[in-house]
C-alpha cells in the first residue's frame, strides 16, 4: 500500500473516531442533565422547555452519527474506492477537450455528492425538524430551493470553474496566484451581491414598518455610525420556526435583516439588544477579519495545491490513475477536510472570543445586560438550544459560548459597571 494512502487512512480514522466520541459525549452529557434546569435559568425556562431542548439536541446528534459514518464511506469510495477515477475516465472517453471534460468531471462529482446528501437533508427537514415543531418548509418550497441552487450553480459556478481550470492549465507555475485573485474577487462580488440579488430569490424581504421598533433601531444605528441600505424583515417562518437577525453585504450595499419569527417573539428593547450585538461584530471588524483570514488561508491552500499537483504520490495515494489539474483540485477539496479537522477548535475559539466582544458592545450600547440576557433566554427557549452542552463538544465545535457562560459574562459586565 502506498505510504500516502496510509497517512490518509490514519487521518480519516482519527477524524471518524474523534467525531463519534465527541457525539457520544454530547448525547451523554445532555441526557445526564435533562431532568434539571441549570440554576441560572430556573426562573426563566421551565423544565418542559429544557427537556424539549435536550431531546431536540440528542435527536440531531444521534442522526449526525449516521451522517458521519456515511460521509466517511463516501470519502473512501470517491478516493481509494476509485469513484473519482471512474468519473474522470468516463468524461475523458467523451472526446471533449481537456478543459470541458475536466469541468464536467468536477461538476459531476458535485452533483452526485449533493444527490447522495439528499436523503439526510430530507430526514433532517421533514422528520427531525418537523417532529420537534420547527419545520415549516413545504415540499414545493424545498424542491424550488433545490432548483434555484442548481440554476445558480450553472450560472455562477460553472463559469468560475471553467476560468479556474483554464488558469491552472495555462498560466504556468504561478497559476495559484491568478486563481487566488479570481477567487478573492468572486468572493467579494458575492458578498456584495448576495443581499440584493441572490437572497431575494429564496425569501421575501419587506422594509421594517414604521413604529417604536424602527425608531429604536434607527436611533441605535445613529449612535453606532452604521449606515445601511435598509432595515428588512425576512419571511424566515416560510421554512423554519427558528428566529435570528443578521446584517449582510459590503460597502454601501449592507442590509440589516430580522427574521419575522424574531420580531414576533421578542420585545423592541430585546430586538435592539440583538441588533446591537450584530453591530458589535461590525464595529470590531469581525467580518473583515474573517474575510482576510479566509483569503490568507485560500492563498496558502492554493500554493500547497500547486506543489501537490507535481507529486505523483498525491494522485496514486488517493486512488487516481491519471494526473490532471482538475483531478488535483478535486482530490485537494475532498481530502483536505480530513487533515484540517483537528484545527476546528481553533476556529471555534476565535469565534467565541468575538461573540464575547460583540456582547460587550451590545451591553455598552443598550445600558446594561438585561435586554440582551432576556433576548438570549427567549431565543434559547424558543429555538430549543440546549443549556447543558458537553464542555469538550462545545469547545470543539461551537461558534457561540454556552448559554450559562455567555449570560454569566454579561452579568459580570454589569457588576463591573456598578463598582
Tell me: is residue 326 an annotated ligand-binding position: no
Instruction: Please give the biggest Cα pair distance in the chain.
Output: 77
Tell me: is residue 409 an annotated ligand-binding position: no
Nearest-angstrom CA–CA distance, 192 and 169: 29
Nearest-angstrom CA–CA distance, 357 and 401: 12
Closest by CA position to 105, among listed 319, 305, 326, 308: 326
Reported as half-sphere exposure (CB side, CA atoms, 13 A), residue 183 has a value of: 21
Nearest-angstrom CA–CA distance, 377 and 375: 6
Question: Residue 115: exposed, middle, or buried by beta-carbon count in 10 A (0-12, 13-18, 19+)?
Answer: exposed
User: Catalytic residue among 71, 278, 382, 390, which?
Assistant: 278
Active site residue 206: no
| β-bridge mates for residue 245, sequence order | 258
Active site residue 278: yes
Closest by CA position to 90, among listed 170, 258, 82: 82
Nearest-angstrom CA–CA distance, 246 and 244: 7
Q: Please give the span between the terminal C-alpha atoms of the chain, in angstroms, as a whole number.
A: 67
> What is the helix (H) or strand (E) element at residue 313, kind and residue range?
helix 312-316
Closest by CA position to 361, among listed 279, 419, 272: 279
User: Catalytic residue among 71, 85, 270, 359, which?
Assistant: 359
For cell 441549570, name the residue: 38
- Neighbouring C-beta atoms of residue 53, cutoff 10 Å: 24
Tell me: is residue 281 an annotated ligand-binding position: yes
For 33-72, the DSSP string reads: TTTS--GGGTTTS-HHHHHHHHHHHHHHHHHHHHHHHHHH
What residue numbers does the annotated binding site for Zn(2+) cover? 277, 281, 355
What residue numbers does the annotated binding site cover? 277, 281, 355
- Residues serving a catalytic function are 278, 359
Amino acid at each position: 500500500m502506498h505510504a500516502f494512502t496510509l497517512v490518509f487512512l490514519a487521518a480519516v480514522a482519527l477524524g471518524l473516531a474523534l467525531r463519534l466520541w465527541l457525539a457520544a459525549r454530547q448525547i451523554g452529557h445532555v441526557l445526564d442533565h435533562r431532568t434539571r434546569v441549570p440554576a441560572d435559568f430556573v426562573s426563566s425556562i421551565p423544565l418542559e422547555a429544557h427537556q424539549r431542548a435536550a431531546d431536540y439536541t440528542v435527536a440531531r446528534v444521534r442522526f449526525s452519527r449516521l451522517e458521519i459514518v456515511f460521509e466517511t464511506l463516501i470519502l473512501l469510495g470517491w478516493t481509494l474506492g476509485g469513484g473519482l477515477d471512474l468519473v474522470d475516465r468516463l468524461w475523458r472517453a467523451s472526446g471533449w477537450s481537456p478543459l470541458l471534460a475536466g469541468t464536467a468531471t468536477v461538476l459531476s462529482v458535485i452533483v452526485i455528492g449533493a444527490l447522495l446528501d439528499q436523503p439526510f437533508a430530507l430526514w433532517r427537514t421533514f422528520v427531525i425538524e418537523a417532529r420537534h415543531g420547527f419545520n415549516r418548509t413545504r415540499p414545493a418550497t424545498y424542491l424550488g430551493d433545490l432548483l434555484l441552487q442548481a440554476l445558480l450553480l450553472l450560472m455562477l459556478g460553472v463559469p468560475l470553474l471553467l476560468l479556474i481550470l483554464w488558469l491552472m492549465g495555462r498560466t504556468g507555475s504561478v497559476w495559484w496566484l491568478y486563481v487566488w485573485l479570481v477567487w478573492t474577487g468572486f468572493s467579494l462580488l458575492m458578498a456584495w451581491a448576495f443581499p440584493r440579488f441572490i437572497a431575494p430569490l429564496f425569501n421575501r424581504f419587506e422594509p421594517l414598518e414604521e413604529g417604536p421598533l424602527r425608531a429604536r433601531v434607527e436611533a441605535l444605528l445613529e449612535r453606532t455610525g452604521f449606515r445601511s441600505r435598509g432595515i428588512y424583515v425576512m419571511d424566515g417562518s416560510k421554512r423554519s420556526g427558528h428566529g435570528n437577525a443578521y446584517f449582510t453585504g459590503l460597502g454601501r450595499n449592507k442590509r440589516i435583516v430580522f427574521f419575522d419569527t424574531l420580531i414576533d417573539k421578542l420585545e423592541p428593547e430585546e430586538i435592539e439588544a440583538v441588533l446591537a450585538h450584530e453591530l458589535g461584530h461590525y464595529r470590531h471588524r469581525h467580518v473583515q477579519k474573517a474575510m482576510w483570514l479566509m483569503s490568507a488561508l485560500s492563498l496558502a491552500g492554493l500554493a500547497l495545491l500547486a506543489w501537490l499537483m507535481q507529486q505523483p504520490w498525491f494522485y496514486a495515494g488517493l486512488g487516481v490513475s491519471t494526473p490532471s489539474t482538475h483531478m488535483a483540485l478535486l482530490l485537494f477539496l475532498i481530502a483536505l477536510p480530513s487533515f484540517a479537522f483537528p484545527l476546528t477548535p481553533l476556529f471555534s475559539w476565535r469565534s467565541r472570543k468575538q461573540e464575547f466582544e460583540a456582547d460587550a458592545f451590545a451591553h455598552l450600547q443598550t445600558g446594561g445586560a438585561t435586554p440582551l440576557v432576556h433576548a438570549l433566554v427567549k431565543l434559547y427557549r424558543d429555538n430549543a438550544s440546549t443549556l447543558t452542552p458537553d464542555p469538550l463538544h462545545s469547545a470543539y465545535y461551537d461558534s457561540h459560548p454556552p448559554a450559562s457562560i455567555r449570560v454569566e459574562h454579561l452579568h459580570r459586565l454589569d457588576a463591573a459597571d456598578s463598582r
